[in-house]
């Protein structure tokens, strides 16, 4: 068994967090291929559900994707949000509601009704 100092563990977590963020920024770009975005959404779901990571930045990536121009991507995001919802995600959705276009506003409003 390897013993890692608290400082080293913090450094490793920070590097991992930066790499994850960079990865999600690239993979969830609206101009990215649908399959790539779907893979990133599934990765976020698994990360949150399996690893029980409650990182507001990861939640933010997921919620930001709800305004993707592709309706199928938005539908997948909504399904994932329903599975892993928490108060932070609800709060992020309420913020995103103010920024979205009419079609997406309707979807977010319906989702918020289900979650609250």
**What pLDDT, on the 0 to 100 scale, is given for residue 2?**
60
Share of the chain above pLDDT 70, in %: 97
Residue 27 lies in a domain: yes
Asked, for residue 1, whether it belongs to a domain, the answer is no
Per the domain annotation, does 62 fall within a domain?
yes
Q: Does 56 fall in a domain?
A: yes
Lowest mean pLDDT among 25-34, 52-61, 93-102: 52-61
Q: Is the pLDDT of residue 81 over 70?
A: yes
Tokens in use for 66? 């709800």
In a domain, 3, yes or no: no
| H or E, element range at 7 | helix 6-27
Mean pLDDT of the chain: 87
Domain that holds residue 49: 8-115
**Of residues 115 and 7, more confidently modeled:** 115
**Which pair of tokens denotes residue 41?**
């959404």
**Does residue 42 belong to any structural domain of this protein?**
yes
Residue 81 Cα distances to 11, 15, 20, 55, 66, angstroms: 30, 26, 19, 14, 10
Domain count, the chain: 1
Tally Cβ neighbours within 10 Å of residue 98: 8
8-45 confidence digits (pLDDT tens): 777 777 777 778 888 888 899 989 999 999 999 999 89
Is residue 31 in some structural domain?
Answer: yes
């Amino acid at each position: 068994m390897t013993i890692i100092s608290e400082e080293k563990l913090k450094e490793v977590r920070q590097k991992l967090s930066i790499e994850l963020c960079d990865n999600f920024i690239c993979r969830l770009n609206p101009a990215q291929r649908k399959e790539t975005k779907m893979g990133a959404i599934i990765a976020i779901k698994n990360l949150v559900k399996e690893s029980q990571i409650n990182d507001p930045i990861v939640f933010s990536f997921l919620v930001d994707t709800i305004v993707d121009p592709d309706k199928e991507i938005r539908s997948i995001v909504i399904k994932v949000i329903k599975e892993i919802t928490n108060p932070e995600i609800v709060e992020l959705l309420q913020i995103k509601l103010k920024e979205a276009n009419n079609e997406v506003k309707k979807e977010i409003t319906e989702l918020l009704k289900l979650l609250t």
